[in-house]
A and B are shown apart, each in its own frame.
Chain A
Amino acid sequence: MGVALRMADTEPLLSLENVTLRYGQGASAVTAVEDVSVDLAAGDRLVLLGPSGCGKSSLLRAVGGFQPVDAGAIRLRGAPVGRPGPDRMAVFQEFDQLLPWRTVLGNVRYALQRGRGLDRAAAEARARDWIGRVGLARVMDAHPHTLSGGMKQRVAIARAFALEPDLLLMDEPFAALDALTRRQMQDELLSLCEQTGATVLFVTHAIDEAVRVGTHVLTLSPHPGRMAGLAAIPAAARQRGTAAFAQLEATLQAGLLATEAHTEEGARRHG
């Protein structure tokens, strides 16, 4: 049984049970993630935090169905996750996740038509609504290559939210943005999540981002990725500049440093 983020007598929305992920075959196989167990209830925003090489993105891709699970199980509403599908919409770090040949409106509308089976008119209405909600109504008919990085990520976020998935998967969506835009996007994402009650799995290596957007933070240690700590983020600590925010940041930072020191020590011992 996974570690529940809170005491709940209902079935978890997403449950990871002793999940292990490997790359490669046989003797040359590398373990990316080992024995991760955690449960998410609806409305939880779990941040996977860790240094590069801790397998956090691999874990997210496995939940998305983009990567096979080597041991353990990933269940969504009790059923093992299969191929990628619109019930788990992903937002990636790379800016090239939008279809360059479709406009902003076209990108979101197409996703709604194909992913949700809406007819053109219904899809267009919902697409317009969501593009407006991320503040891009004035570039509705622009092609992605004319947009800034932040705007492209907003379109991808609008697309993901518009499909109303069971679970939103965010793989460092703001990592390639400048610091100011990144903060702004974190705030906007937080408010969208609070409005919709979306359940989110969010991958990042930035501690302040984890405290800002998550309800819970799962810290992973690298090589292979193992669970190093699970912390709840109280709503009061989510406000930047508060003492609680700074304290949580410091605690998580210390936790991360400890995992790295631990791994280095381990590497020395084994090497």
Chain B
Amino acid sequence: MNLRRIRLVLWALVAVALAGVLALQWAGRRREPSQAAFRPDFALQDAAGRTYGMEDFRGRLALVFFGFTNCPDVCPTTMSEVALVMNDLGSEADKVQPLFISMDPQRDRGQGLSEYLAAFHPAILGLAGDGAATQAAAESFRIHFEREESPAAPDGYTMSHSPGLFLIGPDGEWLRQFPHETPAAEILADIQERI
């Protein structure tokens, strides 16, 4: 009798867990469209001076990072993850465009942004506009960056910034953010599911 009661309680727990999972999934599905309801954009230049906007990447997923090359920790770590994702995509790599948008465009351009990014992966496109265009791009992606004066940084300043990777859909819709330190395998799995 006791065993029977325990079994009943366990089944009840299973039912509660199942209901919870379903509710979460349903809530997740409902939340996504409202988050994805915006299309970030920008007008920024590559090393050759060509101006790009999000429409240049239509039909492909875009994996967007806002960074600066004087950043010794977060930016190289993220770029090496992007390189891993691109390598592991193999023959499907051409369906994903990784972008590095400089938040420190003047210094980055002077120090060779494309050369720096090529050391991680040749597919990563580095874009660096002027101050106003950079600010507009960040606002469009709803991210924060700020120049901080600091004697403990090269040239006396550093940048604080939103360190996530942003995934933009083939039609330009914002799909999701991968928070800083999301493992490359997780990013890869998400992207492969969408391709």
Real complex partners, A and B?
Answer: no
What is the interface of chain A, defined by CB distance below 8 A to chain B? none
What is the interface of chain B, defined by CB distance below 8 A to chain A? none
